[in-house]
Amino acid sequence: MGSHVAQRTHSEPPAQRDTLGYNVRVGENMPRRLSSFVTIALAISATPLYGANVKVTDSKGNAVEVRNVEIDYTHYPSIGLYTPDHESEGVRAYQGDGIVTIKWEQIEQLVIKRVKPEISPSRLVGDVALKNKTVASVNLVYSEKGLQGTTDLGVFKILLADISTITVLPRAKR
Protein backbone atom coordinates (compact mmCIF):
# COMPACT_ATOMS: atom_id res chain seq x y z
CA MET A 1 0.00 0.00 0.00
CA GLY A 2 1.67 3.11 -1.18
CA SER A 3 0.68 6.42 0.31
CA HIS A 4 1.29 9.73 -1.24
CA VAL A 5 2.64 12.24 1.21
CA ALA A 6 3.13 15.77 -0.01
CA GLN A 7 6.73 16.77 0.33
CA ARG A 8 7.56 20.34 1.14
CA THR A 9 10.50 21.73 -0.70
CA HIS A 10 13.13 23.54 1.31
CA SER A 11 12.45 26.80 -0.53
CA GLU A 12 8.91 27.13 0.93
CA PRO A 13 8.59 28.51 4.44
CA PRO A 14 6.45 26.40 6.79
CA ALA A 15 2.73 27.24 6.83
CA GLN A 16 1.40 28.96 9.93
CA ARG A 17 -2.18 29.29 11.15
CA ASP A 18 -3.96 32.62 11.38
CA THR A 19 -6.45 33.47 14.15
CA LEU A 20 -9.22 31.62 12.28
CA GLY A 21 -7.11 28.47 11.95
CA TYR A 22 -6.34 28.78 8.24
CA ASN A 23 -2.91 27.93 6.93
CA VAL A 24 -1.11 31.06 5.79
CA ARG A 25 2.44 31.89 5.02
CA VAL A 26 3.83 34.75 7.04
CA GLY A 27 3.33 38.03 5.23
CA GLU A 28 1.50 36.50 2.27
CA ASN A 29 -1.89 38.08 1.41
CA MET A 30 -2.03 39.99 4.68
CA PRO A 31 -2.34 43.48 3.15
CA ARG A 32 -5.12 42.24 0.85
CA ARG A 33 -6.92 40.48 3.72
CA LEU A 34 -6.63 43.51 5.95
CA SER A 35 -7.93 45.87 3.27
CA SER A 36 -10.86 43.51 2.57
CA PHE A 37 -11.70 43.42 6.27
CA VAL A 38 -11.50 47.22 6.57
CA THR A 39 -13.68 47.67 3.48
CA ILE A 40 -16.34 45.33 4.86
CA ALA A 41 -16.24 46.96 8.30
CA LEU A 42 -16.65 50.44 6.79
CA ALA A 43 -19.51 49.29 4.57
CA ILE A 44 -21.37 47.83 7.54
CA SER A 45 -20.84 50.87 9.77
CA ALA A 46 -21.84 53.27 6.99
CA THR A 47 -25.08 51.42 6.23
CA PRO A 48 -27.96 53.82 6.87
CA LEU A 49 -30.78 52.90 9.20
CA TYR A 50 -33.98 51.99 7.43
CA GLY A 51 -36.42 52.99 10.14
CA ALA A 52 -39.48 55.00 9.30
CA ASN A 53 -39.89 58.74 9.21
CA VAL A 54 -42.36 59.80 11.89
CA LYS A 55 -43.83 62.81 13.63
CA VAL A 56 -43.47 62.40 17.39
CA THR A 57 -45.69 64.46 19.67
CA ASP A 58 -44.57 64.48 23.30
CA SER A 59 -46.79 64.62 26.38
CA LYS A 60 -46.57 68.44 26.40
CA GLY A 61 -47.78 68.77 22.79
CA ASN A 62 -44.42 69.49 21.11
CA ALA A 63 -44.18 67.85 17.66
CA VAL A 64 -40.90 66.82 16.01
CA GLU A 65 -40.30 65.11 12.66
CA VAL A 66 -37.81 62.30 13.15
CA ARG A 67 -36.11 60.29 10.40
CA ASN A 68 -34.85 56.70 10.52
CA VAL A 69 -36.32 55.90 13.93
CA GLU A 70 -35.41 52.91 16.01
CA ILE A 71 -36.45 51.78 19.46
CA ASP A 72 -33.86 50.49 21.90
CA TYR A 73 -35.39 47.47 23.64
CA THR A 74 -32.08 46.49 25.23
CA HIS A 75 -32.44 45.37 28.84
CA TYR A 76 -29.60 46.84 30.89
CA PRO A 77 -29.07 44.73 34.03
CA SER A 78 -27.43 46.39 37.03
CA ILE A 79 -24.69 43.77 36.95
CA GLY A 80 -23.53 41.71 34.02
CA LEU A 81 -23.53 41.75 30.29
CA TYR A 82 -26.28 42.82 27.95
CA THR A 83 -27.04 42.22 24.29
CA PRO A 84 -28.10 45.25 22.23
CA ASP A 85 -31.68 44.93 20.95
CA HIS A 86 -32.63 47.74 18.56
CA GLU A 87 -35.80 47.65 16.45
CA SER A 88 -36.04 49.81 13.33
CA GLU A 89 -38.83 47.94 11.52
CA GLY A 90 -41.65 48.80 13.91
CA VAL A 91 -42.90 48.85 17.47
CA ARG A 92 -43.30 45.78 19.68
CA ALA A 93 -46.56 44.87 21.37
CA TYR A 94 -47.80 41.96 23.42
CA GLN A 95 -50.17 39.58 21.68
CA GLY A 96 -51.31 37.02 24.23
CA ASP A 97 -48.18 35.54 25.79
CA GLY A 98 -46.13 36.44 22.72
CA ILE A 99 -44.69 39.61 21.26
CA VAL A 100 -45.42 40.93 17.78
CA THR A 101 -43.60 43.67 15.86
CA ILE A 102 -46.13 45.99 14.26
CA LYS A 103 -44.30 47.26 11.20
CA TRP A 104 -44.07 51.00 10.60
CA GLU A 105 -45.43 50.53 7.07
CA GLN A 106 -48.68 49.14 8.59
CA ILE A 107 -49.12 51.95 11.12
CA GLU A 108 -50.89 55.22 10.46
CA GLN A 109 -50.77 56.51 14.04
CA LEU A 110 -49.88 55.20 17.48
CA VAL A 111 -51.36 56.82 20.58
CA ILE A 112 -49.65 56.09 23.91
CA LYS A 113 -52.01 56.63 26.83
CA ARG A 114 -50.17 55.55 29.96
CA VAL A 115 -47.54 53.33 31.53
CA LYS A 116 -48.78 50.15 33.21
CA PRO A 117 -46.11 49.58 35.92
CA GLU A 118 -48.19 47.14 37.97
CA ILE A 119 -47.39 44.38 35.46
CA SER A 120 -43.85 43.08 35.22
CA PRO A 121 -42.25 43.85 32.89
CA SER A 122 -43.86 47.29 32.58
CA ARG A 123 -46.03 47.96 29.55
CA LEU A 124 -47.39 50.99 27.76
CA VAL A 125 -51.12 51.09 27.06
CA GLY A 126 -52.18 52.64 23.78
CA ASP A 127 -54.12 52.44 20.53
CA VAL A 128 -52.72 51.77 17.09
CA ALA A 129 -54.52 52.94 13.95
CA LEU A 130 -53.42 50.82 11.03
CA LYS A 131 -53.41 51.88 7.38
CA ASN A 132 -56.08 49.27 6.65
CA LYS A 133 -58.40 51.46 8.80
CA THR A 134 -58.55 49.14 11.83
CA VAL A 135 -57.86 50.44 15.32
CA ALA A 136 -56.62 48.15 18.08
CA SER A 137 -55.86 48.64 21.76
CA VAL A 138 -52.32 47.47 22.45
CA ASN A 139 -49.96 46.83 25.33
CA LEU A 140 -46.60 47.99 24.04
CA VAL A 141 -43.30 46.52 25.18
CA TYR A 142 -41.60 48.97 27.53
CA SER A 143 -38.23 50.40 26.51
CA GLU A 144 -35.70 51.69 29.04
CA LYS A 145 -33.97 53.89 26.45
CA GLY A 146 -36.88 54.80 24.15
CA LEU A 147 -37.03 55.97 20.55
CA GLN A 148 -34.26 57.69 18.68
CA GLY A 149 -33.65 59.02 15.19
CA THR A 150 -32.37 62.10 13.42
CA THR A 151 -33.79 65.57 12.99
CA ASP A 152 -32.43 68.61 11.20
CA LEU A 153 -30.76 69.60 14.48
CA GLY A 154 -29.13 66.23 15.20
CA VAL A 155 -29.85 62.99 17.04
CA PHE A 156 -33.24 62.97 18.78
CA LYS A 157 -34.03 60.68 21.75
CA ILE A 158 -37.20 60.35 23.81
CA LEU A 159 -38.58 57.80 26.25
CA LEU A 160 -41.70 56.01 24.98
CA ALA A 161 -43.49 56.98 28.21
CA ASP A 162 -43.00 60.67 27.27
CA ILE A 163 -44.64 60.25 23.84
CA SER A 164 -48.29 61.09 23.25
CA THR A 165 -48.53 60.13 19.55
CA ILE A 166 -46.37 58.77 16.76
CA THR A 167 -47.64 59.48 13.24
CA VAL A 168 -45.89 57.61 10.45
CA LEU A 169 -44.96 59.92 7.57
CA PRO A 170 -44.82 58.86 3.93
CA ARG A 171 -41.37 57.72 2.77
CA ALA A 172 -39.56 60.23 0.58
CA LYS A 173 -38.94 59.01 -2.95
CA ARG A 174 -35.31 58.06 -3.52
Q: What confidence tens digit (pLDDT) does each residue in 41-76 have?
A: 444 444 444 689 999 999 999 999 999 999 999 987
Radius of gyration, alpha carbons of the chain: 25
Q: Provide the pLDDT for residue 124.
A: 93
Q: Which amino acid is at 95?
A: Q
Contact between 126 and 102 under an 8 Å Cβ cutoff? The reply is no
pLDDT tens per residue, range 76-121: 777 878 888 899 999 999 998 899 999 999 999 999 999 887 877 7
Q: Report pTM.
A: 0.68
Alpha helices in 8-159 (DSSP H): 30-45
Residue spans per domain, the chain? 16-45, 54-168
| Secondary-structure breakdown of the chain: helix, strand, coil percentages, each rounded to the nearest 5 | 15, 45, 45
Q: Which amino acid is at 103?
A: K
